[in-house]
Copies of this chain bind each other. A is one copy, B any other.
Amino acid sequence: MKVVAVFIVALQLAIGVEVDVKTTISGFVVTLDGITIMEQSEMSPMLAVGAGNRDVMEFRGNFHIKDEVVSRIPLRRSSVTKIDDTWQIVLQESGSSNEYQTIIELENDASSLFVTVTVQAQHPINRMWVRFKAEPSERVYGGGEQFSYLNLRGRAYPIWTREQGVGRNESTITTFFAHQREGAGGAYHTTYFPQPSFVSSRHYFCHLLESAPSAFDFSHEDYHEVEILKTEVGFKLASGSSIQETVEKLTGLLGRQPELPDWIYSGAILGVQGGTDKMISHLTDAQEAGVKVSGLWIQDWVGKKVTSFGSRLYWNWVWDEKWYPNLKTVMRDLKEKDIRVFAYINPHIINTGSLFNDADKKGYFIKNQEGTTYLQDFGEYFCGTVDFTNPEAYNWYKGVIKTNMIDLGFGGWMADFSEYTPVDGVFHSGIPGEEAHNLYPVLWAQCNREAVEEAGQLGEILYWMRSGFSGTGKHAVVMWAGDQNVDFSYSDGLPSAITGALSMGMSGMGLTHFDVGGYTTFPPMVRTPELFLRSAEAAIFTPVLRTHEGNMPQANWQFYSSPGTMCRFARLTQLFTTLRPYMKEAVRQNAESGTPVQRPLFFNYENDPVTLDIQYQYMLGDDLLVAPVHQPQQTSWSLYLPDDDWVFVWDGKNYKGLSDVTVDAPIGKPPAFYRKGSKWTPLFEKLSGIMASCGDETIPPHIPLDQKIVQLVMSQVAPSSSQNQEVKDEL
């Protein structure tokens, strides 16, 4: 068989983007606004093509992917021509071979450089590797929501939406046990919201336009390598005068989030459950204790189903009138008091519920290879998953959202899941499962967005999502960080929520928040009073303050677990509401220019290179530097102040920047500094005056929990260290 392979890399010249291609002895150099972005030579080719076999195994949102490369052919020879505004670079193999070509074309685009690579080959080729020039000291940020590292250099990041994993760090015992149970451990790169884009400290962004599986490898000194499992791909690149401006350009391309509803700043959304009376009694207790409340989130509005793991939400998205009697009336009354009630939904529908039959008959679910509804296993129950590539199904589900949630009077909902899309699923639009997988969260966001918009409620109703991909930034209105562990671990606990927010901001999603206290109880960890309060402290410096009872409410500490906790939490909600005008300003900046609400220090202090590597501090808006205490048993906290004059929020003391400082950090006083001379000084000064008299109850780091509950939790631990439990086969 004769083989002809043609590679086309089209660089479309944007207005205002300066692209230049210079030939060298054995290759060429491409610059974008003077920044070298590609470099080719015979010894160091920038493109390779090849084939591989990919085997994807999925269990409850945890994907185990085996990938084997069978051919990888670097293209060593190049020739450059220019036709009108179009650069064409032809890449080929070396020697006498002319099987593979690359043509680079430059055309006008609104604000970016457009690169396309097309492979035409009779050979079994199914992927390519494209290298961008790197500098040793360069930092790279973004990649969607990355929980472990803000600077991505030194590691590779597969772009594949999935459960973030439990523990997310193979050197920890938590991840070890989680891997043993359902392969659920995760790693540094596992995330709900990957995005094939990065922002370089060299002031350019690079965004891959494909949803096919890809991986960004930043582990090399002199190049970044992007692997894409597709033979025709496009990139967009643009540069800015600073990192901030580069992010502005990226969000210009990807879309920005609108401003948040005004009511969000008036207090916490309390995650509660258990029926109408219980919901109201939680509200009354909280308000009596001084908690500022903006809403009540009842994820169990659909009722519960009993399984061997305990009771779980019943995934039939219809109000359970027995479980929540009078809910409609109660919601109307509460709204008059400016308290909203929030629901829960995801794109999966349980096969024993009323919604399922309707959708199944109409063929609205993703299908299996046999052409019938693909039933996904969620642990003792099975669901159909709405096929959003089918316009009828999409509209039908939008209708479910409108009728069953908006019309009922909810103020919003958690729009959960969407990472489980099976690669062997068959989709209405004909898109392959491997490409549909990453795209699905975007369609899910869009469906929610349109339901809200069509109901005329954008800016009033709030839905929060965890999963995403390129395009989520345009359709989602706010994210949350998913299921952190109820611990202080760097890779999956409180610190990881901070890193997640900052990397999200570097990916064009500037509004996010997290479950106060974390979500996942993985034995033997349980949420302590200390973790709850440290987490709440950090959460007041995010745009949305929301609690969650977690996956094991009784085993974990809650805002209502003791009067002392409630009282302290109340004060924190008062701090949050005091920040209202300042927070609104930061949210407005995000809507206008894509400058995220929580921003890495280098947004404001890029000239201070220390800031390039700081991932657990951030600027909230332009004037407030926050360094949440994210480790247990701390009474003081060390942090870095960049080059400016600073005032410590809690005692008004002045600090000079360009130095490490250590401050007192008792529970309730999260380290925060404002810029001296800020126009917001009067507001910041108010914060230290907000006191609470919480009685004699001290909050020790760990309060002993009910031993029976601890035993219950412990009984779920995976294999002990007993040699007899050794398994015969490797994982």
Contacts and interface: CB of A to CB of B under 8 A. Distances in A.
A110 interface: no
A374 to B, nearest CB: 27
A97 interface: yes
A48 interface: yes
A572 to B, nearest CB: 23
Contact of A170 (B96, B187, B524, B730): B730
Contact of A723 (B93, B99, B487): B487
B730 A169 contact: yes
A3 B169 contact: no
Contacts of A94: 1-3, 99, 123
B173 A490 contact: no
Interface string A177-210: 0011000000110000000000000000000000
A627 B567 CA distance: 68
Interface string A696-731: 000000000000000000000001110110111111
A43 interface: yes
A1 B74 CA distance: 14
A488 interface: yes
Contact of A721 (B72, B97, B173, B493): B173
Interface residues of A, number: 58
A218 B70 CA distance: 15
A695 interface: no
Contacts of A632: 723-724
Contacts of A188: 730
Interface in A137-183: 148, 169-174, 176, 179-180
Given A43-B124, A69-B72, A71-B72, A731 B171 contact: yes
Interface in A566-602: none
Prevailing SS type, chain A contact patch: loop
- From A123, A187, A525, residue with most partner B Cβ within 10 Å: A123
A403 B13 CA distance: 80
A42 interface: yes
B726 A169 contact: yes
Nearest to A486: B723
A489 interface: yes
A64 to B, nearest CB: 13
**Copies of this chain per assembly:** 2
A456 interface: no
Interface string A204-224: 000000000000000000000
A723 B1 contact: no
A219 to B, nearest CB: 9
A668 interface: no
A26 interface: yes
Nearest to A124: B43
Contacts of A98: 96
A95 B70 CA distance: 18
A50 interface: yes
Nearest to A97: B97
A73 interface: yes
A520 interface: no
A507 interface: no
A71 B69 contact: no
B70 A3 contact: no
A507 B173 CA distance: 38
A726 B93 CA distance: 48
A617 to B, nearest CB: 16
A348 to B, nearest CB: 30
A491 interface: yes
Interface string A20-40: 000000100000000000000
Contact of A729 (B26, B43, B171): B171
Contacts of A487: 723, 726
- From A4, A98, A172, A491, residue with most partner B Cβ within 10 Å: A172
Given A1-B26, A1-B94, A94-B123, A489 B71 contact: no
Contact of A72 (B72, B123, B169, B720): B72
B723 A174 contact: yes
A535 to B, nearest CB: 14
Contact of A489 (B490, B524, B723): B723
Nearest to A53: B220
Contacts of A170: 730-731
A671 to B, nearest CB: 20
A294 B525 CA distance: 55
Contacts of A48: 70-71
Interface in A42-94: 42-43, 48, 50, 69-74, 76, 93-94
- From A1, A72, A490, A632, residue with most partner B Cβ within 10 Å: A72
Contacts of A489: 723, 726
Contacts of A721: 173-174, 524
Interface in A447-491: 485, 487-491
Contact of A727 (B1, B123, B169): B169
A70 to B, nearest CB: 7
Given A71-B72, A97-B97, A173-B721, 19 more contacts: A1-B42, A3-B95, A48-B71, A50-B72, A69-B69, A70-B72, A72-B72, A76-B123, A97-B99, A148-B730, A171-B179, A171-B727, A173-B176, A187-B730, A485-B723, A487-B726, A488-B723, A491-B728, A493-B723
Task: Sort A-B residue pairs by CB-CB distance and give the 5 closest, nearest first.
Answer: A97-B97, A487-B723, A489-B726, A171-B731, A72-B72
24 contacts: A48-B70, A48-B71, A71-B72, A73-B73, A94-B123, A95-B99, A96-B98, A169-B726, A169-B727, A169-B730, A170-B731, A171-B179, A171-B730, A172-B726, A173-B176, A488-B724, A489-B723, A490-B728, A491-B726, A491-B728, A491-B730, A493-B726, A524-B721, A632-B724
